[in-house]
Copies of this chain bind each other. A is one copy, B any other.
Amino acid sequence: MSQSKLDQFKSLLKEQASYSEAIALMGWDMRTKAPKKGIEHRSEVLGVLSQKVHEIQTSEEMKSCIDELKASDLDDVMKRSVEEAEETYDKTAKIPVEEYRAYVTLQSKAESMWEEAKNQNDFDSFRPYLEELVEYNRRFADYWGYENHRYDALLHNFEPGVTVEVLDEVFPKVRKSLTALLEKVQQAPNQPDPSVLEGHFPKEKQERFSEEILSRMGYDFDAGRLDETVHPFAIGLNTNDVRVTTKYDEKDFRTAIFGTIHEGGHALYEQNIDESLAFTPLADGTSMGIHESQSLFWENFIARTEAFWENHYDLFKSYAPNSFENLPLDDFYRAINEVKPSFIRIEADELTYCLHIMVRYELEKALIGGEIEVADLPTLWNEKMKEYFGIEPPTDAEGVLQDIHWAGGAFGYFPSYALGYMYAAQFANQMQKEIDVEEHIKNGDFQPIKAWLTEHIHQYGKMKKPLEIVKDVTGEGLNPDYIVAYLTEKYQTIYKF
């Protein structure tokens, strides 16, 4: 290996990371602050910068770096960076340039058509775009290759190592347990009363409380900030600049509190990636599923526990309307954990959430596999909702049109959400063996929890693959028993059956 080749490689990575930081900042800006008239110009600028990233990733220069360096003796970070760069190169190089460009144009058109279609509850106007997107994704999967199922090639983009074979074993098992659990919950005589949570929550107070909780979680405000947005997200520009956004509903504090903690979980992951990975493609979460496990861990395994509210209820009440003063903790706790089948995924509770994902997984797997066509989707969607939830959405806007993912061509993404739940339950189970999690939560001392997550997960960024992390942390592979056990125990206590 020539030193100059390594320098050249590092310089390409740095350039790529620099464009990516610019793109991330522009994205954050557009979703928080940017004046609306500037959006059109900004979109063109984003197009130019994304094109640059794509050019670097597929350049002859990159290819020659990869070829020379992968046969060389490198330190671990550079070794993994070369692997990552090669994977990206191969993936991208397999798609003809013209086809890729047409696809990018289609994506952006489809997203705006989807928005319109959702507003108008008009699936048919969106259908031709979705058909084209599915066609492209089928073709891309064929370019990329797969062993068993064409959908595996797409899954790989979001959760490398997880396949249809794995999901088809795990998901039905979980579904069976959850639907049985849901039935018990619904039949329980002692139902929580969510109306006790109603009140007027001034935005400023919610903002202060959100900041307070983020700080307690160990989120570093010197390396991030909290802003308001319409669709909350967390975004890492670099490990020292990881921003959280949230949304305040003055009638329902749950939106901001649990939303902020959720995004805070994502943010903690990115803030604690090892600094030695800066300016490499490894300074990022290792997969969508592991990322989601971190946000869900904080949102559910910490912030929806009784232990958490034993400590934080008084603090919360100091930010809440007077009427909360007389609300017993137990009523509050049970109300924030109400289970209720609903049409909208992002509003779902912990128990039904994974069922929403399974509806999507089964449909997109069949779509990509060519077993069903886009035109079948609305009917099949409603049938599955009926089967898993016992309810049927009155409109497509509340059904098949609700999520943006397919409009962006993101097939293979949805399973990550359910995997995130499963990983989180596995991590939580392991953590409890090593430290007294409940006691720390009760004491409001999150430092040992954050330290555990950093030590076992966060620091590695993309140095380890998702299933490698799961194995290293828990000693086993993906195992859905933990999420089922966790939910069963939790709702038995809450619903008293």
B15, B225, B239: the one contacting A33 at CB < 8 Å is B225
A49 touches B22 (CB 8 A): yes
A484 to B389 alpha-carbon distance, docked (Å): 81
A76 contacts the other chain (Cβ, under 8 Å)?
Answer: no
Interface residues of A, count at CB 8 A: 38
A41 at the interface (CB under 8 A from B): yes
Could you say which residues of chain B place their CB within 8 Å of the CB of A222?
35-37
Taking the closest CB of chain B, its distance from the CB of A431, in whole angstroms, is 27
Q: Give complex CA distance A347, B37 in Å.
A: 35
For A203-228 the 0/1 string (1 means CB < 8 A from B) is 00000000000000000111111000
Q: In the assembly, how many copies of this chain are there? A: 2
CA of A33 to CA of B29, assembled, Å: 11
The distance from the CB of A94 to the nearest CB of chain B, in whole angstroms, is: 26
Cβ-defined contact, B26 with A240, below 8 A: no
Say if the beta carbon of A290 comes within 8 Å of chain B.
Answer: no
Closest to A17 in B: B45
- CA–CA, A49 to B222, complex, Å? 24
Q: Are B221 and A38 in contact, CB atoms less than 8 angstroms apart? A: no
Also in contact, A241 and B37, with CB within 8 A (given A29-B29, A48-B14)? yes
Q: Is the Cβ of B278 less than 8 Å from the Cβ of A41?
A: yes
- Tell me the minimal C-beta distance from A216 to chain B in angstroms: 18
Interface residues in A81-119 by Cβ distance below 8 A to B read none
Q: In this assembly, does A435 line the interface, its C-beta being within 8 Å of a C-beta of chain B? A: no
Chain B hits for A133, CB < 8 A: none
Contact of A34 among B17, B42, B45, B241 (CB under 8 A): B241
Residue A44 is within 8 A (CB to CB) of chain B in the complex: yes
Q: Would you give the shortest CB distance from A244 to chain B, in whole angstroms?
A: 11
Chain B residues with CB under 8 A of A37: 220, 222-223, 240-241
1/0 contact string of A1-35 vs chain B (CB within 8 Å): 00000000000001101110110011001000111
Q: Tell me whether A237 is interfacial, beta carbon within 8 Å.
A: yes
CA distance A354 to B175 in the complex (A): 77
On chain B, the residues within 8 Å of A15 by CB distance are 48, 52
Measured CA separation A220–B35 after assembly (Å): 9
Give bound CA distance, A33 to B224, whole Å.
9
Nearest-neighbor residue (CB-CB) of A243 within chain B: B35
Q: What are 12 A-B pairs at a CB distance below 8 A?
A: A14-B44, A17-B45, A18-B48, A21-B41, A22-B26, A25-B25, A35-B224, A35-B225, A38-B237, A38-B241, A42-B238, A44-B279
For the complex of A and B, list the 10 residue pairs with the smallest distance between their C-beta atoms, beginning with the closest. A38-B241, A18-B48, A22-B22, A37-B240, A37-B223, A41-B238, A38-B240, A18-B45, A21-B45, A37-B222
